[in-house]
Structure 1
Amino acid sequence: MMHTLTYTSPRAGTVIDLADPEGIMCGQILELRTRAWEAELGYRSLRATRPAKTVKVTGLVYGIPALEKAEELFDADMCAYLNDAAKPGVITVDGWSQTCLVVGHEPDYVSPVLVRGDFTVALLDGVWHKRDDVQHFWSEALQPGLDLDYPHDYPHDYLPTTRNATVANDAASPMPFELVVYGPVSQPAIIIGGNRYELHMDIPSGSYVTVNSVEGQRSIVMTAENGDITNVFDKGERGSGINGGNYIFQPLPAGEHQVRWNGFGFDLTVIQERSTPPWWN
């Protein structure tokens, strides 16, 4: 059962409600829920991806002005994406989102007050994302009296700034994340599930660095105290890549894992991925 369905334009964040009984009402969204990997068979093997695809969503539009306003915005977003390399829009179903563009509308019934037809939506990510609750890990200054040692030889003393601190990923498989590291700190590193997430930089007091590990969206940026944003993508340690033990974008393993770090504050948000939005929320 669907409760909410929206399209958010990158143009000033304009939101179109696609489940509005007095505007655009898309009831059945079966194609949005279609689960399909693109699979290629080898000799006793299989390779699979979840590529971008187009789907059709049937909608009833109550009032021609509502349809014209929506189509004008869909076209503007498409032109900006093609001509100016602007960001695409975002479609959201009950909190699960992915980037998209609305590339067509095929009406099959028109009256003075109602238009029925299929909207063609290009789903660009191949997967749906939803952010879990933020997991907060306070700086040592806010948690006095904690142990300051770690039983391995690292450049810093790593400690849990809350006793028995753990990171939780409730999904069944490793997931991407958003990591926010707060200054002041020099050369911050965090150890989770056998991987070391490290930044080769200084973060001043009042500043913070945000790491987004979602494939296709990966970024590392620093936000200064005055709000200025700096691209620091090259400061993330990549080691030998995924599963090498020292990779800044290593997906968080499923389950609960002890976390170690050297006393600074940070926030961690697991970003769940699914082939389709859940049927029931």
Structure 2
Amino acid sequence: MFTLERREKIYDYILQNKNVTVLELSKKLDVSEVTIRKDLSFLESQQLIDRTFGGAIIKSKIIKEKSYFEKEKSMINEKYLIGKKASEFVKSNSTIILDAGTTIMEMAKCIKHIESLRVITNNLKIALFLSDFTNIEVTLLGGKVSMKSKQCTGVETCKIVEKYNVDASFLGCDAFDINNGFMTTSIEKMYLKRSFIKISEKTFLLTSSDKYEKKSMVKVQDFSKLTGIIVDKQSTKLIEDFNKFNIDNCVFV
């Protein structure tokens, strides 16, 4: 049996049984446990399965939250282009909300020159970065601190948000698609993003194309609730789908 054929059989078997052991696969395919482990490592590298102690399980389609530092390493140039484009929608003497996320951080770097700007954010790194510029007044929203995502969330954060009215909010997401709009990884983050939308005259979603057609735990809102979506043009399918479904509030960069 060729390697490719064996790996296809392994993957099909895991799909059917949800979870398997190395010993089980070794006996079924009559190959060594060392070979099976190599096959499972390959399937994991293709993001098809998750390794477990002594075996493997089918990979969930629902993505888990990555750390801020993991996110910083991906789609670097695309995030810069998205952030730069988003900065064009920010005017002097305005009040804006900057959500958490590495793409929003790129936007923050592009607005540091804007005069008489008031920025409200739940992102610790953005607040610290913008606080160095005397032309920008920064308000950091308090609440429960997530060191993994470098942000504040929770009921208290939402209560603070409700006191404000802002010109525009710029939101991030963990996943998005045609049917579900944009999504995030927790109920707390979902409520906070909805609170941002509620108090904003305009709302923009900033997201990289690698999150398209992924699934996350909680839906935030449909695209129709947004003023605009700013995304990179690296995915041909994303562009084709948005054109097909007449999503006309999207800007590709």
Same fold (TM over 0.5): no
- Place the TM-score, normalised by the shorter chain, in its bin: under 0.3
Structure having greater relative contact order (Cα 8 Å, sep ≥ 6): 1
Q: TM (normalized to structure 1)?
A: 0.23
Q: TM (normalized to structure 2)?
A: 0.25
